[in-house]
Every structure is written in C-alpha cells, then in structure tokens.
Amino acid sequence: MRIFGLILAGGAGRRMGGVDKALLPFGPGTLLSNAVTRFEPQVESLAISANGDPSRFDGFRLPVLADADRGGAGPMAGLLAGLIWAKAAGASHLATMAVDTPFIPGDLVALLMLAGDGGPAIAESAGRAHPTVGLWPVSLNMSLEAALGSAERRLGFWAESVGAVRATFAATEPDPFMNANTVEELAAAARYLG
C-alpha cells in the first residue's frame, strides 16, 4: 500500500480578503509550512494543490498541482488533480487535508486507513464531517471525473456516493479539524499555539 498526500491550498481566500491563505503567518512559519510539518511524515510523497504561479511555493520543494478543472469546482478539482498525479506515480491511495486545518492529528492517515479498511474515508469530529480531510483510493479518479462532468461541486455528497466511511476523532481543544477561514479564526488558532 502506497499512500501519497495532497494539501488543498487552492482556495480563493475570500473570507480573508482574497489573500493567499497558504502563505499567511502561523506559528514560526506559515499555514502551509505547518501543514507540511504535520502531514509529510504520514505519507510517502506530498504535493500542494494550488492554482496561479507555482513559483511562490518554490521554497517547499514539493510538486504543485493546478486544478484539473478550472470551472470553479473547488476542492473536488484539486482532489482530481491529486488522484491523477498519485495514480501516475504508482500510489494506491491519496490522503488529503486543507491548508487551513492547522491541527490535524499525527495519526490521521493511519486512522483513516483503519476506518475505511482500504476504501474511502473522511474525518469526523463533534458529529461533523470534514470531507476535505480524507483518504481516497486512486481508482476513484474516474468516479470523481464523472461527478465533475455532471456539475457536482459538493465534496461531501460525492464522498457519500462512493461509500466513504467516517473516521471519528475526539473533539479536543482545539478541535483537530478546526478551520481558519477568517482573520478571527486564524487568530484564535494561533492562540492555541501559545
């Protein structure tokens, strides 16, 4: 079993005033450097999903994958690009996380694999599903492509349609899947680091 990883960093950052969220300061680095530090040890190979000039991520020395579809498909388009990349490189699975989820657990990928028993799985905490945090067999690329072709844009809906199980994580403080979507949420997340 070969598990690759993808950090979803292609959002427009509208709730942050249109800034590149991945490069916002967080702790000793940025949201992206934090994500790489937490996620990279859990996977065999790691890539960044982002549109625009990839050179802004040169310092990370990771592949930068542009969306496979430019029709505003959000994380589903990033996931499709990741599945295509991982499959071509010989991976069996792709693990994903959002760059603005700064507290993912160190055993995330292992617990997703256990929950899904090799099939698709997404994270859940406090009764809430987090479909951008998941583990996907690379063979799902055709199903995802078909969903995008039918204008489906809800990652959670598609995950359910392919039988993704929920891996339940304890809701701690901070929640392991807390999102930093706004300036206020990012400041709150930073306070947990202190």
Which pLDDT tens digit goes with each residue over 118-135?
A: 999 999 999 999 999 999
- The string of pLDDT tens digits covering residues 1-37 is 999 999 999 765 565 666 789 999 999 999 999 999 9
Quote the number of domains for the chain: 1
Beta pairing partners, 123: 130, 167
Within a 10 A sphere around the Cβ of 54, how many other Cβ atoms?
A: 14
Q: CA-CA distance, 1 to 51, in Å (whole number)?
A: 29
Within a 10 A sphere around the Cβ of 142, how many other Cβ atoms?
A: 10
CATH label of the domain that carries residue 107: 3.90.550.10
Q: Is the pLDDT confidence value at 71 over 70?
A: no
Work out whether the CA dihedral 43, 49, 54, 55 comes out positive or negative: negative
14 vs 168, higher pLDDT: 168
Per the omega criterion (within 30 degrees of 0), is the bond before 63 cis?
no
At residue 169, the pLDDT reads: 95
Rounded mean pLDDT, 178-188: 91
| Range of lowest pLDDT (36-45, 69-78, 83-92, 113-122) | 69-78
At residue 69, the pLDDT reads: 64
Q: CA-CA distance, 111 to 151, in Å (whole number)?
A: 31
At residue 193, the pLDDT reads: 86
155 vs 74, higher pLDDT: 155
Q: What percent of the chain has pLDDT over 70?
A: 93
Show the tokens assigned to 174.
């901070």
Is residue 10 classed as helix, strand or coil in its secondary structure?
Answer: coil
Q: What's the pLDDT band for 181 if we cut at 50, 70, 90? A: confident
Beta pairing partners, 122: 134, 166
149 vs 83, higher pLDDT: 83
Measured CA to CA in angstroms, residue 64 lies from 60, 61, 81, 137 at distances of: 10, 9, 10, 20
Work out whether the CA dihedral 101, 105, 110, 112 comes out positive or negative: negative
CA angle 9, 13, 18 (to 5 degrees): 130
Range of the structural domain that residue 48 is part of: 3-193
Widest Cα–Cα separation across the chain: 46
pTM reported for the whole predicted model: 0.94
Show the tokens assigned to 27.
């702790």
| Range of lowest pLDDT (45-49, 56-60, 190-194) | 190-194
At residue 43, the pLDDT reads: 98
Q: Is the pLDDT confidence value at 72 over 90?
A: no
Which position has the token pair 């760059």? 99
Please answer whether residues 100 and 179 qualify as being in contact, where contact means their C-beta atoms are separated by less than 8 angstroms: yes
